[in-house]
Structure 1
């Protein structure tokens, strides 16, 4: 199977740097990989720290792509992780992880993983002098701060926030979709905005909150930091008070709906044709969406064609398409694969056909 690689959902400078690092890394692995556009590649890198990264991840995941999360966070919900900042060595290590058989067959002199000369001084092993016995005894008797206290910010019990992130490095505020996609919150958490509480269970991919979506606008649109999430305490009691369990996809759908403000997500052509892959759960709060979905179910169409056929303003159509792309309900029309040419019959074939 061909090894194909693509990038999406990042600013031009990051994309240029990543493509350059990929080219160098691919040379180290003997040129086994091919760089292709997002729609044609099988392994796609998404900038999970960008505003649209989590939605790109959801869309690509629904399309069956292998997604690599580019992030400064210690973990990600994508299939693989590429740490930020990156270089050719770390990209080569990623490619080796994606295709270990190819890495194992790398010719001598090509290095899929960083070599000692490529490592920073603090990354190289240092000799450790053994302390005198008396000193070791004093160390054992002396109470020390747990290592985790120096390197992590953890909310007691559930949820876990910012594991393995140095306390001196505070992450920038992010949208709820970013927190979920990066894996920076895990387990059961409580989020309250404008006096309305939502309880999120990341493992079950469900949340408890109001049945309507509009009261949750601030939850998905505001920039959130670690202090906005807390432990829910008695989960059963709090969940019953918050409301019925709902699929987490609804919150992500709402985030996609509000993110663009009438503008299509980056990486998508406003002149392309879009189609519904399956009927979405339309919300009674947004009655126009039923008309949009009905038109899109009839076949691929441009945003302008959908707006004209549905009688809905183009900005509302664009927002609905954003939400549907983010949750995998819609996709860009893909050109059909070319039919393989039939082998031409030679002289003997023509004789047999008589």
Structure 2
């Protein structure tokens, strides 16, 4: 089964350019690579350089998707990487890297430089494989086994004859059609409860809206990637943990928006709110799909909050190098549940990543000749 591909976590211009490059690359490889919705895709391309990229990667990774990171960075924590800038040729190389056997062309064609195997109708009779029956496989062995069993095992008394009941139904004939039992009706997939971190995923919300919980209101400007609300994060605990429906987000007109945002003061980056959502999401456990025994590291120093003073100690320990949850707990003296929550928050915002041992670089072959020997000195 060929993989299917989807796009998410990117602006419209990048998405359109990727669709065009993907279509051209698919044509070069025989047109066998479908581009589908994110929900139906097995492999999803995410713009890791956008604000929503790291959160999209975290969500897709937990859902079991294979994530392809679109980024200018030389490496990415995603399963595969597509560099920027990209074109049809680089996309084609990516497809060949993901499924090299399927990228060689349509069924029945061989890769360039490889002679295809002959079709069955083109083979000579002596080249065709002959079925080997069990009876003809090893007659000498079966005969000797049968004799040995006869000599070693005493003869068993004849089994008593039992009359079949007269009311037994007749056996069905070999030509009678067999009716298969009806297939069970498909059951709808259960709908998962959605919290704020799910609603802030790309494509879920747009425009300006209000979310109110527990007497506290927060104004979201999704298009401008900012929000207006309390200066601290803990008053938004109810907003982050509540199960939310679409009706909980109410649109705000321009006059009301200007009036209320003026009173609330400076807008805050929406990534800060996403950080707080991910901090609460795991409840002391790493997010689904992340190994608790793996090593994690910080890529850069995160913005720590005064409400969480222990985070400074965790960040200090993580900046020293990759470490497991237990190693970080021992190094900073913070409970493992708080360490896991801190890692979740920074995975979602792109500040942290699982650590992978780098592959050894191939040794460069020394050039021969006089100049090669002189350079080697």
TM-score (norm 2): 0.51
Q: Give 3-state SS (helix, strand or coil) of 2:200's partner.
A: helix
Find the counterpart in structure 1 of residue 197 from structure 2: 177
- Find 2:218's aligned residue among 193, 198, 207: 198
Structure 2 residue aligned with 1:220: 240
Which residue is 2:258 aligned to? 236
Evaluate the alpha carbon distance shift between residue 228 and residue 352 of structure 1 in structure 2; reply closer, same or farther with a 3 A threshold: closer
1:334, CA displacement in angstroms?
2.4
**TM-superposed deviation, 1:250:** 1.1
The answer to whether the 8 A contact 1:200-1:207 is kept is: yes
Which protein has the larger Cα radius of gyration, Structure 1 or Structure 2? 2
| Post-superposition CA distance 1:192-240 (Å, at most 9, x none) | 1111111111111100000110011121221110110011222111222
Contact 1:188–1:232 (CA under 8 A) maintained in structure 2: yes
Cα deviation 1:81-123 (Å, max 9, x = unaligned): xxxxxxxxxxxxxx99x97xx999954999xxxxxxxxxxxxx
**Cα distance 1:172–1:264, how it changes in 2: closer, same or farther (>3 A)?**
closer
1:351–1:104: structure 2 CA closer, same or farther, 3 Å change rule? closer
- Residue in 2 aligned with 1:335? 357
Equivalent residue number for residue 123 of structure 1? none
Deviation digits for residues 303-350 of structure 1 (CA, Å, limit 9, x no counterpart): 1111111110111111101111111111111221321232366xx659
Distance in structure 1 (CA, Å) of the matches to 2:4 and 2:362? 24
- Map 1:32-47; keep pairs closer than 5 Å: 44=44
Tell me, in whole angstroms, the C-alpha distance in 2 between the residues paired with 1:307 and 1:349.
56
C-alpha separation in 1, matches of 2:5 and 2:313 = 35
Picking from 237, 240, 262, the partner of 2:284 is 262
State the alpha-carbon separation in 2 of the partners of residues 344 and 32 from structure 1.
Answer: 42
Q: Please say if residues 57 and 78 of structure 2, whose CA atoms lie closer than 8 Å, have aligned partners that are also in contact.
A: no
CA contact (8 A) 2:366 2:372 kept: no
Say if 1:243 and 1:351 are closer, same or farther in 2 by CA, change over 3 A: closer
Q: Deviations over 1:227-257 (max 9, x none)?
A: 1001122211122234531110111111111
Alpha-carbon contact 1:207-1:248 (below 8 Å) kept: yes
CA–CA distance in structure 1, aligned partners of residues 204 and 267 of structure 2:
22
Secondary structure, counterpart of 1:185 in structure 2: coil
**3-state SS of 2:211 partner:** strand
CA contact (8 A) 1:206 1:245 kept: yes
How far apart are the structure 2 equivalents of 1:259 and 1:213? 14
Q: Which digits, 9 at most, give the CA deviation of each residue in 1:273-311, with x for residues without a partner? A: 111111111111111101101111111111111111111
Q: 2:348 aligns with which of 326, 332, 335?
A: 326
Query: Offset of 1:265 from its aligned partner?
Result: 1.2
What CA RMSD, in Å, does the superposition of the two structures yield over aligned residues?
Answer: 4.4
How many pairs does the alignment contain? 229
Q: Which residue of 1 aligns with 2:230?
A: 210
Could you tell me whether the CA contact under 8 Å between 1:280 and 1:329 is conserved in 2?
A: yes
The superposition leaves residues 138-164 of structure 1 with CA deviations (integer Å, 9 ceiling, x where unpaired) of xxxxxxxxxxxxxxxxxxxxxxxxxxx
Q: Contact (CA 8 Å) 2:194, 2:243: kept in 1 or not?
A: yes
In the superposition, relative to structure 1, how do residues 281 and 228 fare at CA in structure 2: closer, same or farther (>3 Å)?
same
Does structure 1 retain, via aligned residues, the 8 Å contact 2:77–2:353?
A: no
Structure 2 gap segments, 5+ residues each: 7-25, 34-42, 47-54, 62-66, 80-90, 110-190
1:4-153 matches, cutoff 5 A: 44=44, 55-56=58-59, 107=106
